Structure 1
Amino acid sequence: MSERTAERLGEPPASAAPVTLRKPLTRDIPLDWLDDLLLAASELEPSASIEQRASALLGAAAKALVGCGLGVHIPGAAGAPVVIRLSPRAHADDGYDPARLFPELSFERVLTITPEDRSTVHVATDDSGYLDSAPLVALLDRLVLTLRASIREARAQQTLREQVIQAEKLASLGKIAAGVVHELNNPLTSILAYSEYLRRKGERSGFDPSDLERLARINEAADRILRFSRDLIAYSRPSSEKPGAVSLHDIIERALIFCEHLFEQTGVTVEKRFGDIPAARGVIGPLTQVFVNLFTNAAHAMHENGGCLSITTAVSPDDDHIAVTIRDDGHGIAPHHLPRIFDPFFTTKTDGTGTGLGLSIVRNIVASHGGTIRAAARAPRGTTFYLDLPIALPSSARR
């Protein structure tokens, strides 16, 4: 608990203009009160913590609330709450009650800042009538609104900083992984070459057929690992390719290989319903990223009970684009979240595994290819993503 005790303030300053109430419900705030609050809010640094923001705003309001106790109680997402007290009277430090920050004063009023986390503003005095005065009520209303906006901004900034740090960690890990894969390529090439040499020699020399089968399996496994590592390196490099005719089925197959280990861990089966489609117009690397992200999200959604990932491709009825439909049997997306799932930094993963950037990147890549993507809830559970991607025009049509 952080506690700050202000010295007892004297009589109201001469500059404080008297307030004339034209109607019982009129709420006029003296301009100097409002100026102090607005100035304090405007001087806050974007990187200021919740405690720093609350302290500055309370300090500005306390200049007007002479002889009052003013404080906040803001529960922490992790760790101790932020508790700030500005009081004209000291009290014994024997803990605190979130509903009663000023036991040394006779009357205390509590106002809610953010209902979702039960953050509160407290004002206390020995004069109960003062708490009902129109200027004080108006100032407290404005203080609550300013604190609410400032606290939410602080939390958004903190979330952004955490996501940037996580992105930097992933970037560093990606560089390390690329180096490891590169180092593996040389011995893999040797395994592939020598196993193929021994297999062919065995065929000529009459090796035991079971030994030849083992050599063939070694050769096949080494070749698969080598192709995977080369695809992985190509995928991780920034793309400088220009859009051209690409095979969507090959891109989807590559993305499925990248996610194969994840499907095994989560008990996901894959069902492919590939139609007879022409080449799409796009770039292989970014489009692979689109499908890797969508397949990964689907596997995460089905991690508890497994399920089926269904991928369907077809030419649209009007023959002007390729339609890709991706369905999963996961826990689904709440209807009120669907309009926001492509927003940057929005995530429904509360366990810290999501950055809120995956689907935003997917939408940007699809849009840059001249396509569209949307999501819909499935009944009784699961999610469906619909992608429309442009068809590559034949060279004669482009002239």
Structure 2
Amino acid sequence: MFSNLRKYAAACLVAAGGLLLTCLSSWNVRQELQTSHFKEFEWAAGDRIQSVRAVAEQGLDALLEIRGLFYAAQGIDEKEFLLFTDSVLKRHSYIEALLWAPLLNSSRQPLPTTAPGTRSVRGTDSAAASTAPIEQLRLPVLLSAARKAPLATPGVDLNATGELAELFRRARASGKVAVSGRMRLERPGEKAAHVIYAALPVYAPGQPRRVAAAEPADPLGFVIGVYDIEELVHVAISLLEPRGVEVLVRDASAEGEAQFLHFYASRLEPRAVAAASGLLPEADEEQPRMVVTIPVGDRQWTVTCVATHTFRSAEAFTKAHWSVLVGGLVCTALLGLYLVRSRRELDNRIHLTQTIYEREELFRQLAETVDVVFWAISPDAARLEYIGPAFRKIAGAEARLDDPAAAVLFDVFAPDDRARLVDAISQLRREGGHFSTVLPLAGGDHALRWLRVCGFPVCEPGVELVRIVGFLEDITEHKLAEDALRDSEARLRTLFNHSPDLIFTVDGEANILLSNRPWPHPAGAAGEKRSPLILPPEVRPGYLQRLRHVFASGRIEHLQYRSSGDTWWEVRMVPISSATTVKAAMVVISDITENRKLQWQAIRSSRLASLGVLSAGIAHEINNPNHAILANAGLLARIWNDALPILDEYEQDQGDFLLAGLGFAQARQTITRGMNDIAENAKRIQKIVDNLKHLGKQDRGHMDELADIGRILHAVATLLDARIRKCTDCFALDLPDSLPMVRGNVQQLEQVFINVIVNALESLPDRSRAVRVSARANPAEGRLIVEVVDQGKGIPEDVMAQLGEPFFTTKAESGGTGLGLSISSSIVDKHGGMLRLEPNPELGTTVSVDLPIAREE
């Protein structure tokens, strides 16, 4: 019993001392609260009074800003006024409206000054001041900007209201801002608000504020502001932290109940309201308060701040915190001493026991569940202290794990490998550190079973080495995978190095990181290998531009160029990405000369196919007229010329006679006109034949010719004349007088326009539908655009997506090959242009050929 009392004596002492110190500290803190409460309230009340004053002054300053605008601008219209006042209304949420009212005399004429808002303020001459009383003058609203619905419509006379007339009289007399008392503002469909009006006179530049000592000068007008009292006070107080302070704002310049402006209830007691007479609530009569008078325009407001029952003081522990701190520390120290003395030994024993158990359990789980074999031997490597049960998977089920001889660990390896392990352990004993070696398992295929053996020294203070520990790990799969990866990398390296293409990787600066060929050019100034040096100088800008696009967009880019000896090369740039970032790019430069030749052959075959399509229509134009012209044109002309004198003489002797039912005079004109028609047909046939010869010429593939698109389109239209007349009665070739030149291959461009126009003609369901070919230049963008618009059947969406694919055709039954648009698109692409097909809004299709304009050299 006596020992138990002694055991709890310290606890009783701690409780008694802590209770006594807590009581003393609480009493001290209470005293300090009472003395600092009012001081804290003075600070909070002062902040609210100053905030109300600052917000009120900022609201009145808005009128000065508008007057400054009138003085600074040459002329203010309604748009400029609304633009300026809109920013003012956004900055001051308590301003309901801003008005401009010019001062007019009784005859509705402005006083002899120029009013802002009508025209100009600056540059007008000041006139003699009017001596008429303000009540005899008019103040119609000219400009108005309101937050919600307009408060006053244009033309409303603000001077007609008695309270506002008094306001304008005071503003006119003082030349400064005048403020009205509290006024009620009715809003349709909304709760009525209480506002104050403020008026600021605006004078003409250079006009004196007073003409004589006792006579005020008439201003041009007044800038009027309407302020929501409740919103003004709310904006001012809401800037501050809620502290439990109520604010009563009264107008000291007014009398009676008109003095009350607004009562702001604390956000901590939002249900408090002022008395009907504008006095503070009865619950606040005994609370601390502060009353300050502030100027608002030409009026005086009194702001009364009252501390509510929820007023919070932040200075409660300014002087008493040391007592509380010392008392808490003493109590904590006494209680901690008791707990440490009573629980130290017990906790240490429990913690030590639990730690040992957890570590033993963790080691047992590791040793029994993982495939790694843990082992430990004595410092002299003669005794095996521990080896994991997973060793049986390596050495076999007959392995004796309880044998203390170290030979159990060494005998699984061949003699030579065993010697390597012994040497590694001997070196560890001499030099410290650790070792790691890979050895094959004895008695089996070395390529199938490989073990990694690692060893680490264990030292204790005062003893160099107490044991050697380590682990065995079967790495057969890793070894085989590593060998396979090495072989695969060697094969890939062989393919990479022996590729006929030049392959290299570049970074974002176009420096070569890896290449399958020796670097053919000297290094750059900083030792880097610049990949553009591989290409001809004229190709390098385009290569660098496309390479930057690969790094920016992550898409494959390519370009083609021709070197000396008519050899064509293709440069293909493929991004190498990591997650969403392009780290590098692989560049492949291939010799595509044979592909280009095959492509030229395909283009020529397509041209010949187009000629075959046209042959049926052209055959009639060539055979029949040409036979008639060649066989009979010259003969008929000679016969007619020889017979004409004889016929003239016969007419003179015998009079008029008939030829084929026609009088001689009429027959003479008819035959002459027929001779001319024969000549014109001969010229037409010759032109068609010439165009066909030009179309069948050998295409050398040169891309540096200057092509006149207008001449090409006229030639194509002439060549397709028979097909055009067969398919439509409404063909239009709308070309300007001159078009800029395009650099490329003239024959290939002719092929493109033949294919496009033939497709447009074949899409027409009847001859009444039209085909229109037009061209326009866009010098600003350096492009020339040719459009072929038809009123045909249109192209379905599923067909539109496949039109560019080779051998895709919807005219297989009529002999279509599906190569026309594919080859045309390829030709336009080689010219640096673009071929687009778009359905028309009503019917038909528009084919656009966009080509770059040739630059002047």
- The structure richer in strand per residue is 2
TM norm structure 2: 0.24
Pick the structure with greater CA Rg: 2
